[in-house]
Structure 1
């Protein structure tokens, strides 16, 4: 009989509470978390236990960090890359974070870190998409088309794996009460809204000019403008 079990993760950034509850459920069945796997959790067979789990983010934590959790009744279990840490405690133990402000603080660092990658990768994806479309429709020599295509695929993968967690952390911060500077948020919202309005009017104008044969415009131009409008719309929804 196997004494270990491997359980896939759903995604800590998107389903943190569900993941922790899942681990608690397994503990009640006698499967106790002992280590992170590549894309999941490694559990070992033991006596059924009434455990609750809590996840925290801290880059390169020191001994005082773990001592703080221990004194609060939480035992260290495992980590991912010395950044994401899981602790366990008997059910009924007082939560580590007892209010919205302190709970949201743990997401701020992760949000700032993922944002530094998500924004450049998103801009790179837009640029590569534009270059790929221009190459496809003959505005750039076709020899570069495969190069742009390969780079675009890599950029999209990086963007997906950083933008989604970034959006999730941002949402958790706002729901918990810690928000970015109101004045900066308002300014960014206005800038994005003006740009979206301009791009939308430009898209409609070019479509009408092309429709009535006043101007000959390639499909690539419409795709690019439309894609930019979508990204601006998503950005507005995020900062509103």
Structure 2
């Protein structure tokens, strides 16, 4: 039996709670989150445990990491893995959630939207540039531009959808900014 397996994410911007519950269900069966991996999670086989998972979105400077993880540790949360500005924690069932009040939930959504804005602008810019090159050139350059356009387009659409989801969550919670 393999000691690791891959679990596809439903999309954290859309179904964060569903993903965290899936990780909990897997932990109950002895599959533990090891790390983020290409639109999903890598799990490793171990002992069954009844834990809950929570995610925080925060860009950390190298000198902030220890204090940040200690703060969660004092609240009963254990850092599991991080990727870029996403950090997943686990705790025993019944531990107070990381975002237990409306204000902290709003802050989390605002931080997520801010970091996504940069990614969306980057992908939209690349898509527009490759589209312009594809339509204004010919021959070999046009063929390369067409390929670049298709690749950037594949990344741009999910990025825009994810960014739109953060605005939906902001609207749902009544966040002004």
Same fold (TM over 0.5): yes
- After superposition, the C-alpha distances for 1:153-176 in whole angstroms (9 at most, x for unaligned) are 233133124212211222222222
Deviation at 1:5, TM superposition (A): 2.8
User: Within the alignment, does 1:171 sit opposite 2:168 as a pair?
Assistant: yes
- 1:149 to 1:100, Cα distance in 2 relative to 1, 3 A: same
Alpha-carbon distance between aligned partners in 2 of 1:86 and 1:19, rounded to the nearest angstrom: 11
| 1:76 paired residue number | 79
| 1:86 paired residue number | 88
Query: CA contact under 8 A between 1:101 and 1:176: conserved in structure 2?
Result: no
| 1:50 paired residue number | 50
Q: 1:107 aligns with which of 109, 118, 132?
A: 109
SS at match of 2:121: helix
Alpha-carbon distance between aligned partners in 1 of 2:38 and 2:151, rounded to the nearest angstrom: 21
Aligned length: 173
- 1:4 to 1:118, Cα distance in 2 relative to 1, 3 A: closer
Deviation at 1:51, TM superposition (A): 0.8
Unmatched 5+ residue regions in structure 1? Answer: 181-240
TM-score by length of 2: 0.81
- 1:112 to 1:46, Cα distance in 2 relative to 1, 3 A: same
- By relative contact order (CA 8 Å, sep 6+), the higher-ranking structure is 2
Unmatched 5+ residue regions in structure 2? Answer: none
Higher alpha-carbon Rg: 1
User: Within the alignment, does 1:66 sit opposite 2:69 as a pair?
Assistant: yes
Q: Which has the higher strand share?
A: 2
Alpha-carbon distance between aligned partners in 1 of 2:137 and 2:31, rounded to the nearest angstrom: 59
Deviation at 1:124, TM superposition (A): 5.3
- Structure 1 segments, 4+ long, off by >6 Å, are none
Alpha-carbon distance between aligned partners in 1 of 2:92 and 2:120, rounded to the nearest angstrom: 37
TM-score by length of 1: 0.62
| 1:158 paired residue number | 155
User: Within the alignment, does 1:7 sit opposite 2:10 as a pair?
Assistant: no
Alpha-carbon distance between aligned partners in 2 of 1:56 and 1:106, rounded to the nearest angstrom: 7
Deviation at 1:110, TM superposition (A): 2.5
Alpha-carbon distance between aligned partners in 2 of 1:131 and 1:46, rounded to the nearest angstrom: 52
